[in-house]
């Protein structure tokens, strides 16, 4: 459903320590998807990922049915976004900031057959 949180990424300086922490705290398990990106398998839809390039706080992804229309509306409202990226087998994402600079992302799932 558009506007609902459908993914969260938790950046960590040390993903091994972070996975151990969240496992002890919430009993979360993870599977490595690649490049030190660890998908949470028994908790919220999301991942533990390396911190870097200004990515040091959790990032929330909001669902959208039409990421092109959503980013255009975002820009009209005074927000900004990076270019929309396609993640093969997953969908399309855009990292954004609202009109006050708060970071978030948009996610349009790949159509299911």
Measured between alpha carbons, how far is 92 from 71 in angstroms, rounded to an integer? 12
Do 44 and 68 belong to one domain?
Answer: no
Model confidence pLDDT, tens digit, residues 3-51: 899 999 999 999 999 999 999 999 999 999 888 999 999 999 999 999 9
Do 3 and 47 belong to one domain?
Answer: yes
Q: How far is CA 55 from the centre of its chain?
A: 11
DSSP state of 52: B
- Is 58 part of a structural domain of the chain? no
Domain total of the chain: 2
Check residue 80 and give its pLDDT.
Answer: 96
| Residue 46 and residue 8 in contact, taking contact as beta carbons nearer than 8 Å | yes
Q: What is the CATH number of the domain that holds 44?
A: 3.10.180.10
- Is 94 part of a structural domain of the chain? yes
Do 45 and 76 belong to one domain?
Answer: no
Cα end-to-end distance, the chain, whole Å: 18
Per-residue CA distances from 101 to 33, 80, 96, 98 (Å): 30, 9, 9, 5
Do 38 and 12 belong to one domain?
Answer: yes
Enclosing domain of residue 89: 64-113
pTM of the full structure: 0.85
């Amino acid at each position: 459903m558009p506007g609902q949180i459908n993914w969260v990424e938790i950046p960590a300086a040390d993903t091994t320590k972070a996975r151990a922490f969240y496992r002890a705290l919430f009993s979360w398990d993870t599977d490595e998807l690649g490049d030190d990106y660890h998908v949470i398998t028994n908790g919220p839809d999301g991942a533990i990922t390396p911190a870097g390039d200004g990515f040091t706080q959790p990032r929330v992804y909001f669902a959208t049915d039409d990421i092109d229309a959503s980013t255009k509306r975002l820009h009209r409202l005074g927000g900004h976004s990076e270019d929309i990226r396609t993640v093969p087998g997953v969908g399309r994402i855009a990292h954004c900031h609202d009109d006050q600079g708060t970071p978030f992302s948009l996610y349009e799932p790949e159509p299911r057959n």
